[in-house]
Amino acid sequence: MMPTVGTSVHPETQDKVSFKQTRTQFGMDIRIWSRSKERVEQERDKVLRNYPPAGYSTYFGAIREYVDSKHKEDSLYVCYGHRLLSCD
């Protein structure tokens, strides 16, 4: 389920990043979302440093922007990824 887009956000929480991992049979599905694209990039890069692609087969898709048609200023940036549970 996608986070709600278009709700008014306090300036002090506008830079908040949310991170969710869901365990699967073979690894972890990862979803990172925030109102700030830079925060999503930072969190994605942190995961890649801790679980490198060469060992954990970690990968992420492109960061996507979701815009609420009624509140165009309330964009939500989302990035999906996956990693294995253990290194090689």
Domain count, the chain: 1
The per-residue pLDDT for range 6-16, each reduced to its tens digit, is 444 444 445 67
In a domain, 51, yes or no: yes
In a domain, 1, yes or no: no
pLDDT of 85 > 50? The answer is yes
Instruction: List the CATH number of the domain containing 66.
Output: 3.30.1660
| Residue span of the structural domain in which 23 resides | 17-84
* Sole residue written with tokens 């922007």: 65
In a domain, 11, yes or no: no
Asked if 82 contacts 59 with a C-beta cutoff of 8 angstroms, the reply is yes
pTM of the model: 0.75
The percentage of residues in the chain with a pLDDT greater than 70, rounded to a whole number, is 81
